[in-house]
Structure 1
Amino acid sequence: MRLALKAEDISKQYRLGQVGTGTISHDLNRFWHQIRGKEDPYLKIGETNDRSQKGMSEYVWSLKDINFEIEQGDAVGIIGKNGAGKSTLLKLLSKVTKPTTGKIFTNGRIASLLEVGTGFHPEMTGRENVFLNGAILGMTRKEISRKFDEIVDFSGVERYIDTPVKRYSSGMYVRLAFAVAAHLESEILIVDEVLAVGDAEFQKKCLGKMGDVSKGEGRTVLFVSHNMAAVKKLCNNGIFLENGKIKSIDNVDNIISEYVSVQDQKNLSVVIGNKKAELKNIELLDSFNAERNTFFMNEPVKFRFTVKFNEDYNNLDFGITIKDNYDQIVGHLTNMDEGFVINGKSGEEKTYIIEVAGFNFTPNSYNLNFGIVDGSEWLYVVEDYTRINILKDESFLRPGDMPKHVMSFYKSNWKEI
């Protein structure tokens, strides 16, 4: 098989709060070392891009020592937590920015959709932007004209094709941008989170088209998404990034399993608050009191946790916030909504259990955040403690139930045990 892409020891360094190195003295220092044939002095400094820890250096390695090869016709999913370096990697591969070190080899033209409206000129019409994007890819006007009707039909914005794209909604923008990237004759298609915008019908259409591009047309697809179901459906291989480094490269099923297992691990290392009351032993339980992280839609879920009181408190607010992969709140539970009182004396520990009839979120993985608050005083907050995975199963759906992806306040039963 022919190689489509190859990354050889690529790294990307940023200076926090600056564009480039930020000062003329730094740039001159780099240049002086370069003309003397010496190593860039700033490559020896910098920290891993771990957002959960407070760093000491103003230099951060967004990516470090990345090596991989992608064969022509492969569909590769790039997954990892927010801040893992996924978007930076796609920008390097798309040649939007240059790596600090290393080399990237490509075989063929690249069409990339890195964010809504990439490469579009807001003052130009949709029609003009289609031809502009084609020209950027090195296509002739005749080649673009041959694909034009197919692009417009796929995008569904025919009525507004001669309207300046600055007047488009974000959904219209991404529809046309994706249609252009997917239909113009590039050998490599790079897509970053296009499914984050648009309705369910368009998301399904995008996945189908990317599948056709990869399997039917033999073109190479790189796809970044937090939607594991979409990655599994489209891709045959995967790259798992963590803190700017490659954690593993494998077939997509193994990569997703590894990613989910890492995300399901509990994390009490990042805590906000004065710890006048502390959370201990937070557990997710099923109806049989077995601890697990994966549940079907509307399957009953229990949260069991212990509060250690380091001062006397009469009425604390305990909350669970559920967030999707874009850090948007989709669900919230609090004892205040149910009229349940949490109190205790200094040195005392109490265990509580919350019973929820089930969550009808869109099947996916969600981050769980827990916190104890006294009025406006944050006592103990733990973010991204673990994840809850919601699967679809018709046996748990009640008549009229529809998956939701909006903030929901659920009825729950609270008790001290």
Structure 2
Amino acid sequence: MSPVIKVENLSKAYQLGEIGTGTLSRDLERYWARIRGKEDPFLKIGEVNDRSKKGDSDVVWSLKDINFDIQQGDAIGIIGRNGAGKSTLLKILSRVTAPTTGSVKIKGRIASLLEVGTGFHPELSGRENIYLNGAILGMRKAEIKRKFDEIVDFSGVERYVDTPVKRYSSGMYVRLAFAVAAHLESEILIVDEVLAVGDAEFQKKCLGKMGDVSKGEGRTILFVSHNMAAIQKLCKHGMLLENGKLICVGKTESVIDQYLQDSKVKKAVFEIPLPHNADEMIGYTSKIQIENSYGDVIQEIPVGQNWQIRVFFKINKKAQHFIIGLGINSFIDVNISTSWSTKTDLDEGYYEAVFKETHLILAPGNYNLTVGLSNFERSVHYLENVASFVISEATDTFIDSSIVRTTNVGFLLNPMQVEISSL
């Protein structure tokens, strides 16, 4: 089967600081090189799009030498840090902008949702914009009319469908825009992070619709999101971009894992910056350590072994009914467990709390920690995802005959009791 999207040696360069090359002589040099079939002399000095470094060139490569194929019906999750080139790639695929070098071959019509209001005319009503978008996709009026009620019902903006969309809120805008993109009969659906504008209920509804579009209707989806849970739920395959380069393409789980490994620095001790109003606070957390059950500081915890978290904190003035809590979150920000100390009264001074884990068996992967101090059930110092740790695969030290697998089975390996009997 031939791919519906084929990208070869795709690159996109941008000029920093000014529009064009700045001088007539530069433009003439570029024109002379182009008519001779030579490389643009100013692209030779282009640099990788690393935002953390100043660089020496005013030409940066937002994308550099990207190659991939996408088959019909695939749902592809595109992930990477801000500035990695994800949105630029989608804009090129949507033909919003042209590549500097390379080629893109696409079979079928594309419906894109790149920004709030993409493809909408602000002066036209919601109804008129539905027909306008359908016409842009090459659909007949009868086809759009057949889908019209379904689009309006999905979007939930029926009351405002005859109001100019310039008066819509950003949430209403994206609701209608997604409904149009998902329901009109395009072969390829491209969705950027724009869904984050919608509320949680609508995001869930959108993910369900995209799943139906991909699995049930055989349409191709390209989905950019920083929500790893959404990527994992919707997409079978993923691609990771970093500084404009394609790092890897493969199964969603393996791509997300590499992204998280690259994003996290393995640490065992996390020093917490002093709050700006530390002296005025009742108390604050100063340090967190990841340890094995003997109290040794470790960077990775072998799966199945006991471990503990040591939290250092200071109390500035007597705290009554004091509680310290520790939450464990997965890499896709799902809360796995939360533990609390018993209520106690603490005098001014330095303290440590040790959370010992002897029962919970976490699957291999990356996990985040949230720490909270409170008294009288009021928050004193709350730190979300302030530290992280890694559970590593280590079968030679993990002996439990009731556990058959340790990967792709969820976050918890604690087995339920199972009884098999003859009937």
TM-score range, shorter chain: 0.5 to 0.7
Supply the distance in 2 between the matched residues of 1:109 and 1:172 (Cα, whole angstroms). 25
Paired letter, 2:157: V
Residue number in structure 1 paired with 2:160: 160
Q: Does 1:174 align with 2:174?
A: yes
Change (3 A) 1:127 1:55: same
Bigger Rg over Cα? 2
Aligned residues: 324
Supply the distance in 2 between the matched residues of 1:5 and 1:230 (Cα, whole angstroms). 23
Residue number in structure 2 paired with 1:5: 5
The percentage of aligned residue pairs carrying the same residue is: 65
Aligned residue for 1:18, secondary structure, equals coil
CA deviations on 1:133-178 (whole Å, 9 max, x unpaired) are 1111111111111111110000000000011111111110000000
Change (3 A) 1:223 1:288: farther
| Post-superposition offset of 1:293 | 9.1
Pairing of 1:125-204 with structure 2 (within 5 A): 125-204=125-204
Aligned residue for 1:9, secondary structure, equals strand
Supply the distance in 2 between the matched residues of 1:340 and 1:104 (Cα, whole angstroms). 66
Residue number in structure 2 paired with 1:228: 228
Supply the distance in 2 between the matched residues of 1:194 and 1:9 (Cα, whole angstroms). 28
Supply the distance in 1 between the matched residues of 2:51 and 2:367 (Cα, whole angstroms). 19
Residue number in structure 2 paired with 1:29: 29
Pairing of 1:245-284 with structure 2 (within 5 A): 245-266=245-266, 283=289
Unmatched runs of 5 consecutive residues or more in structure 1: 268-280, 295-299, 306-324, 326-337, 343-351, 358-364, 369-383, 396-417
Residue number in structure 1 paired with 2:304: none
**Contact 2:266–2:299 (8 Å) recurs in 1:** no
Superposed CA RMSD in Å reads 4.0
Which has the larger displacement, 282-291 or 139-148?
Answer: 282-291
| Post-superposition offset of 1:265 | 2.0
Paired letter, 2:208: G
Change (3 A) 1:287 1:14: farther
Change (3 A) 1:385 1:244: farther
> What TM-score results when the alignment is normalised by the length of structure 1?
0.68
Unmatched runs of 5 consecutive residues or more in structure 2: 268-286, 302-306, 313-330, 332-345, 357-365, 370-384, 391-409, 415-423
**Contact 1:187–1:220 (8 Å) recurs in 2:** yes
**Contact 2:73–2:218 (8 Å) recurs in 1:** yes
| Post-superposition offset of 1:25 | 3.6
| Post-superposition offset of 1:354 | 8.2
| Post-superposition offset of 1:26 | 3.0
**Contact 1:293–1:387 (8 Å) recurs in 2:** no
Residue number in structure 1 paired with 2:240: 240
Supply the distance in 2 between the matched residues of 1:339 and 1:200 (Cα, whole angstroms). 43
| Post-superposition offset of 1:27 | 2.8
Residue number in structure 2 paired with 1:118: 118
Change (3 A) 1:177 1:155: same
Aligned residue for 1:103, secondary structure, equals strand
Paired letter, 1:206: C
Pairing of 1:10-159 with structure 2 (within 5 A): 10-159=10-159
